[in-house]
Amino acid sequence: MIKAIVNVSLKAGVLDSQGKAVHHALDSLHFSGVSNVRVGKQIILELDTEDKTTAMADVTKMCEELLANTVIEDYEIELV
Amino acid sequence: MIKAIVNVSLKAGVLDSQGKAVHHALDSLHFSGVSNVRVGKQIILELDTEDKTTAMADVTKMCEELLANTVIEDYEIELV
């Protein structure tokens, strides 16, 4: 079994309203010294294979087709 | 400047409806060989400090007070 960790984040330059909301909430709670907040998704997949090359190819295809909106989001895949 | 990466995920045993939906969608797209999917959040904070000890203490407090719902979620903090 291979575990794939996919981190999906908004591309630089795309307005991150969730990040802005968290930043504002942290300010309201008197956490100073935070200069930027970005919020993304982390998707953890368990795959029934032992071949890392196949796994990486499959997960890349999943990201392109479903997991990430590649117009506005970047994704990173880590296999463990 | 220190960058803190916070990964927030549902505790084991808590129903992950978003994960189930993604799993189902992957099945519909004929991606076989996926045995489990969990969906969490990744929050990236930029902190105006150079002191890792202070940063870790601050971010832990942020997680406890705002970023994670510790009743149903676990969090991991990584400083880079």
Looking at the DSSP bridge assignments, the partners of residue A43 are: A6, B39
For chain A, which domains are there? 2-79 (3.30.1280.10)
CB pairs under 8 A between A and B: 94
State the pLDDT at residue B31. 95
pLDDT averaged over every residue in chain B: 97
Residues B20-29 have pLDDT tens digits of 999 999 999 9
Edge-to-edge strands, sheet with B2-10: A73-79, A2-10, A34-47, B34-47, B2-10, B73-79
Q: Is A20 on the interface with B (CB under 8 A)?
A: no
pLDDT at A31: 95
Query: Which chain A residues touch B49 with a CB distance below 8 Å?
Result: 33
ipTM score of complex: 0.91
**pLDDT by residue (tens digit) across B52-68?**
999 999 999 999 999 99
